[in-house]
Structure 1
């Protein structure tokens, strides 16, 4: 890409996280002349911190904290990946307190960052949204979904908050003030440094729950390898700095390889040497009833259930996206096939488990 002669100032929020760190590392390689700064609650690893222009500690849920970060600092472009992803028992939570927390970070935090950036003079903004702005509507399947589907139907905290933030970023009112922004909606991202997604799937081996399939097992699901997510972000950044044809738009991105949900799980388990000897299909009605009983038990005991009604619904739905728009406008094409991406992600999680085991062994010796 032919860029301006002077060094660009690029701010990455969430640059210490899984996706943000990957984008920063790619930018440093492809555009070494740019000055990359990271704004995050937590500092990046030392080896990355030494290569960036600066690390700015800030809490995006606090307007004052964010405003302080932009004092005497005006980036040319902001990439906003920071946010919170409710996991495990919080994924399907209906707790109002949990909603306020998620909303404050994902929606309020996005407003704080964008407002402060615009006040500083920045007019280019890339927002990492999520496919959940659509699929967190658990009552419907979404086959080959595209950007024509309206946002606002999501009921789960994550997708609802990301949809609100995306709508703010792409609001015509801000575009009229000169803002050139776009939003990317990645599918579930996996990679060698991911522990969130892989731990959930790997834990099913330990719990002895790999033998069950909820529903008929014929529901499709989208995944995305980290390198492909990074590539899409780089293309969007370069677009906003040149042709701006992506400005004002949202884009679904994935590996463009939807697979059977339960087959993907089985393939992941196989990478750890676990192949279920049999698979039992649990009818939807029975799974729903069991989930309801477990939720009632949870209410009395305070322990998190293995499944709940939300996870039952999610485990038998189909949802995958059409990436045609990202391919046409951004030139996006997945670099790493899904099977290879899963193998790399599993290899990374094996190293994580080995390091964890070694650490636990050292702890026992110290005792």
Structure 2
């Protein structure tokens, strides 16, 4: 769990979550050591490997299910090859969404990025509803394009009419 992930784990527990499952490719940060293991389960794995994602969802145990998945994992920065961004940011998002549905988790909160909306033009004074996801081929870098692809996939799964509803949002 990176900076945002560590804080999210803490906030969820402070606000009454009975258990939080943190999933990351990196080893657990020392800041999480003070949280009791019956409250926080840390699972190491790769978002792009569906078996690892299934293992993370299964960490809730056979008598419980994940109520809400907060998907904040991403490969960021201008340092990597496009195929690696695609693998983590797009395929990772597909895996989280698909496994959530498989496991009976009906809520996904996905961390978006302002870069999915920017095309290099001035956005000063624009409202959020005026900044839609850029169309394919109109991104400034592979990170933004692959984040937008993942976000589009997750948001298309939103279905308020299903029983129970499958709710997705990107923030």
Q: The TM-score by the shorter chain falls in which range?
A: 0.7 to 0.9
Matches within 5 A, 1:39-118: 39-51=23-35, 52-71=39-58, 73=60, 74-87=65-78, 90=79, 98-118=81-101
User: Which residue does 2:131 correspond to in 1?
Assistant: 149
In structure 2, distance between residues paired with 1:155 and 1:109: 21
In structure 1, distance between residues paired with 2:28 and 2:102: 26
In structure 1, distance between residues paired with 2:45 and 2:90: 16
Give the CA deviation at 1:50: 4.3
User: Which residue does 1:124 correspond to in 2?
Assistant: 107
**Normalized against structure 2, the TM-score is what?**
0.81
CA, structure 1 residues 49+119, in 2 after alignment: closer, same or farther (shift >3 Å)?
farther
In structure 1, distance between residues paired with 2:91 and 2:122: 29
Are residue 30 (structure 1) and residue 15 (structure 2) matched?
yes
In structure 2, distance between residues paired with 1:141 and 1:63: 39
Q: Quick one: which of 150, 161, 168 aligns to 1:165?
A: 150
In structure 2, distance between residues paired with 1:150 and 1:45: 35
CA, structure 1 residues 160+124, in 2 after alignment: closer, same or farther (shift >3 Å)?
same
Task: Tell me the matched-pair count.
Answer: 157
Does the aligned pair in 2 maintain the 1:49–1:55 contact within 8 Å? Answer: no
Q: Deviations over 1:306-353 (max 9, x none)?
A: xxxxxxxxxxxxxxxxxxxxxxxxxxxxxxxxxxxxxxxxxxxxxxxx
Does the aligned pair in 2 maintain the 1:42–1:57 contact within 8 Å? Answer: yes
Unpaired stretches in structure 2, ≥5 consecutive residues: none
Q: Which has the higher contact order (CA 8 A, sep 6+)?
A: 2
In structure 1, distance between residues paired with 2:20 and 2:95: 20
Greater CA radius of gyration, 1 or 2?
Answer: 1
Q: Deviations over 1:161-205 (max 9, x none)?
A: 11111111111x442543111111xxxxxxxxxxxxxxxxxxxxx
Cα root mean square deviation, aligned: 2.0
Unpaired stretches in structure 1, ≥5 consecutive residues: 1-15, 91-96, 185-367
In structure 1, distance between residues paired with 2:85 and 2:6: 22
**Normalized against structure 1, the TM-score is what?**
0.40
In structure 1, distance between residues paired with 2:111 and 2:166: 16
In structure 1, distance between residues paired with 2:12 and 2:55: 25
Query: Which structure features the higher share of helix residues?
Result: 1
Q: Deviations over 1:198-256 (max 9, x none)?
A: xxxxxxxxxxxxxxxxxxxxxxxxxxxxxxxxxxxxxxxxxxxxxxxxxxxxxxxxxxx
